[in-house]
A = this chain, B = another copy of it.
């Protein structure tokens, strides 16, 4: 039985998995992404993380059929290079990530886009596996996503799936991308954090930052929001309701255009807040939805935190279809 490796390269952490032919995770490991040095240091850390996952699966990395990588930035699958990975140290120029990993691990390496491979995993073995078509939205630091049509990712000219930059309000809030009124400007974790910091300066009361400190964090991570909701912090509930409203509008617009069967909500916030918030998003979509009498299902991504790494493992050729 041939095992495969998958690595999800994030700005904060590197997540590696080893999966079997039925896509079951038989080993996993996680390390912090180096925040100094350059691409070569990141590649070394990635190799080490995969070695650790392989160890847990009781194999050596060089026995794997190959390793897939889900990468941020501009990934060129054919060349195996990644460029302009803004959240990674010193990574502007194209770096031959596949060659580096392949050399260090002794197995072939394959490259894909981080959001894209996570979406592929949800489509093949996750929340979307019974859907012919769905929209995937990764609700995290930013808002990424993609469109699955007839079980395949629609790529367009290469830049499709920018759900976070659908406009929900003409002349609306300023987005980190420089545009105005983007969904991400209302619902992205980073935007919500910026707003919360501003509101606290203005004297608004919230437990968010106390929870952040208690958790030893310097940012309002998804877990911080989840805890504040659990504690019924009124400000956080309002802030998330505003995000949910924007998500409802953006996703309803997307569904009015494409009439897909389902919406799959993943990402840090999507996974942490779970089905109760997926249901809130479904309710927020309803007033704007053309198919109000038969709305698309809104589901939480099934693969959670490991979706990116499992999706990356799908890049390794020779996988069997899911049972």
Interface segment among A31-39, A160-168, A221-229: the answer is A160-168
A-B contact list, 19 entries, CB within 8 Å? A147-B257, A149-B149, A156-B258, A157-B260, A158-B259, A159-B291, A160-B257, A162-B257, A162-B259, A166-B253, A166-B256, A166-B257, A167-B168, A167-B252, A177-B290, A180-B287, A181-B288, A253-B253, A257-B257
Least CB distance from A200 to B in Å reads 25
Q: How far is the CA of A259 from the CA of B116 in the complex (A)?
A: 15
Interface residues of A (CB under 8 A from B): 133, 147, 149, 154-163, 165-170, 172, 177, 179-181, 245-246, 249-250, 252-254, 256-261, 287-288, 290-291, 294
Q: Which of B159, B167, B177 lies in contact with A253, CB distance below 8 A?
A: B167
The residue of chain B having its C-beta at the shortest distance from the C-beta of A177 within the complex is: B290
Least CB distance from A64 to B in Å reads 34
- Could you tell me the dominant secondary structure of chain A's interface residues? loop
Least CB distance from A57 to B in Å reads 38
Least CB distance from A244 to B in Å reads 12
Does the CB pair B167–A257 fall under 8 Å? no
Q: A156-B133, A257-B257, A258-B156 are in contact. Are A169 and B166 (CB under 8 A)?
A: no
